[in-house]
Structure 1
Amino acid sequence: MAAFWRRKAQRLARADGSRKGALDPGAAAVVRLLNGRAPFCTTSSCSGRLVLAQGGGAAMAALEKATGDVVLKFEPFVLHVLCEELRDAQLLHSVAVDSGFRNSGITVGKGGKIMMAVRSTHCLEVPLSHKGKLMVSEEYIEFLIHVANQKMEENIRRIDRFHRSLELALKPAAGASSPPPGQAETHRPVYRRRRKRRAEPERDAHAAPEGPGEEPEPESDTESSLGIFADMTI
């Protein structure tokens, strides 16, 4: 499809628009694997974000000086992939759901643009203060940080499962580089029906993306996000 190849060429030729200016290390292996296959092109990715206040005492001191709202937040891995055909998106969807990203979904936009979003509900968002007033105890903040760190560890395990499963699912296409527009592709991944999932300790809701529109494509595609940052006004 000429439109897909044009979009892929433009996307891969574009300079990295993130503040870091490079791939997020946690998502790099998955991004490179997909971009190396003919029917896929990643448009944005983030391996996960953890909003933390450093240390117990230091955290409380910062919160006590806050004049606005402070929120502790963890956001899991997210990836948006432009796909050449619907069967390509279906393959990614199957692998993503089996890897624990059960809020993943497919959208088809104007002109037949097919986007696959890898997402999960494995997140955390807890208000700590409101208009400068601390709403929780130091002990509770320490507990939340522990929970957030556990979620990040599980997030990393899911990314690893997704990467390994992708390698297996795309194995028929191994060694085949992206052909130029108009050239037939000799090896394509095949969409297979997913096997029944084994029960996991934590279950996420499986839902399609909201609304009929296309998945938005953030400009900061590959911002490094395993570090620490804080959404607070002090």
Structure 2
Amino acid sequence: MGLERLKQEFSARKKGILEALASGTDASPKGSVDKQIIPVMELLNSHPGAVTTSSCSGRVSAFLEGRKQSSTASISKQEYETGVAAIGGKGGDGRWLFVTHDPLSDDILQDSQDDAVFLKTLFGGIPSEPAVTQLLPEVSSETRYVHFKFEPMILHVLTETLEIANRLLTCAISSSFRESGIVSPLKNPVVAIRTTGLAFDAPIGIYDPERNIIQRLIEPSGLRVLGRLTNDRFRENSRRIDSLYKYLLPAMEAPETSLESKQMRARRKRAEGIDRGRHIATTRESRGDEDGDPLEGGISF
């Protein structure tokens, strides 16, 4: 495909995306752009060779897994008709019970606050009770868990050229979004700006569909501890978003060039070295080596 054709396709797609944003159309479950990510989006969209296609500034949620396929070879008629979910997936009636793109308020996290109100909010109104000891040995591949999650910022940016994509990728890695990457480099490249180092996923309950009740694996005081942990992650997530904005400012104003500055190259190489070290540590850990030691905290999912 010729360069001119790619530029025309990019211009048409950018025009449609910006028109949808201006009209308030948003395909996400929330239905609107997260306010914290707006400055970064506006900066990127102001560049003639870039446009944001999807975004999330970060969120904390309680998620109920969907129905899972039976471990037997065949699936039931109900599973076939209503659908099943992969592990942790949203199909088969998997859904968010609670989700927010802002830190949890201090009021809800105070141990002195009413537990019933807290649990009702977290579990989306589904009743809950402490998990009975006899229940735990009965868990299987079909058990539906409730997860408490923190998911950091993720941003996808459509670019006109690979040079612009590389420039954005350098900014992303330099601001600690180290799992960022480029998709479809031979067409209009898409830069996925993301990190898993801040993410975590903790099972906090087991869903009993027959009784429509959640058996809690963690008591309210422990759930509040997890909530405070997500607020710590939110703060670091915000710091990285601010850092990304600062790196993007000069990059978006610079003329197109395939050359990196010495400072930017040094940052990129350092980030790549950290990534390689973390990969080696993870490999050692998975093999049971005692000297495996992750270089960055966080439980990815």
Q: Same fold (TM over 0.5)?
A: yes
Q: Map 1:1-234 to 2 at 5 A.
A: 1-14=7-20, 15=23, 16-18=25-27, 22-51=32-61, 54-55=108-109, 56=111, 57=115, 58-60=117-119, 65-66=127-128, 69-108=145-184, 112-121=187-196, 122-131=198-207, 132-172=214-254, 187-188=255-256, 192=260, 194-196=265-267
The CA distance in 2 between the partners of 1:147 and 1:103, in whole Å, is: 22
Runs of 5+ unmatched residues, structure 2: 1-6, 63-97, 99-107, 130-143, 208-213, 280-301
Say which structure is richer in helix: 2
Calculate the aligned-residue CA RMSD, in Å: 3.0
Judged with a 3 Å threshold, the aligned counterparts in structure 2 of structure 1 residues 106 and 61 are, in CA distance, closer, same or farther, namely closer
User: Partners of 1:23 and 1:194 in 2: how far apart?
Assistant: 32
Higher relative contact order (CA 8 A, sep 6+): 1
Cα distance 1:30–1:190, how it changes in 2: closer, same or farther (>3 A)?
farther
- What's the counterpart of residue 232 of structure 1? none
Asked whether the 8 Å contact 2:152–2:195 carries over to 1, the reply is: yes
Q: Say whether the 8 Å CA contact 2:171–2:244 is kept in structure 1.
A: yes
Is contact 1:87–1:191 with CA below 8 Å preserved after alignment?
Answer: no
Which residue does the alignment assign to 1:215?
A: none
CA contact (8 A) 1:40 1:81 kept: yes
The CA distance in 1 between the partners of 2:118 and 2:145, in whole Å, is 14
Q: Do the aligned partners of residues 146 and 21 (structure 1) sit closer, same or farther apart at CA in structure 2, a change above 3 Å counting?
A: closer
1:60 positional shift? 4.3
Determine which structure has more spread, i.e. the larger CA radius of gyration: 2
Q: Percent identity?
A: 29
Letter aligned with residue 10 of structure 1: G
Distance 1:138 1:22 in 2: 31
64-73 vs 130-139, which moves further: 64-73
Tell me how far apart the structure 2 counterparts of residues 159 and 124 of structure 1 sit (CA, whole Å): 18
Q: Measured at CA, do residues 9 and 169 of structure 1 come closer, stay the same or move farther in structure 2, by a change above 3 Å?
A: same
Report if the CA contact (8 A) 2:33-2:56 is conserved.
no
Gaps of 5+ in 1: 173-186, 208-234
Name the residue aligned to 1:180. Answer: none
Residues 119, 128 of structure 2: 8 Å contact kept: no
User: TM-score, normalized by length of structure 1?
Assistant: 0.70
Query: Given the superposition, is the C-alpha separation of residues 197 and 6 from structure 1 closer, same or farther in structure 2, using an over 3 Å criterion?
Result: closer
Aligned partners of 2:170 and 2:268 also within 8 Å: no
Letter aligned with residue 150 of structure 1: D
Structure 2 length-normalised TM: 0.56
2:172–2:193 Cα contact (<8 Å) kept: yes
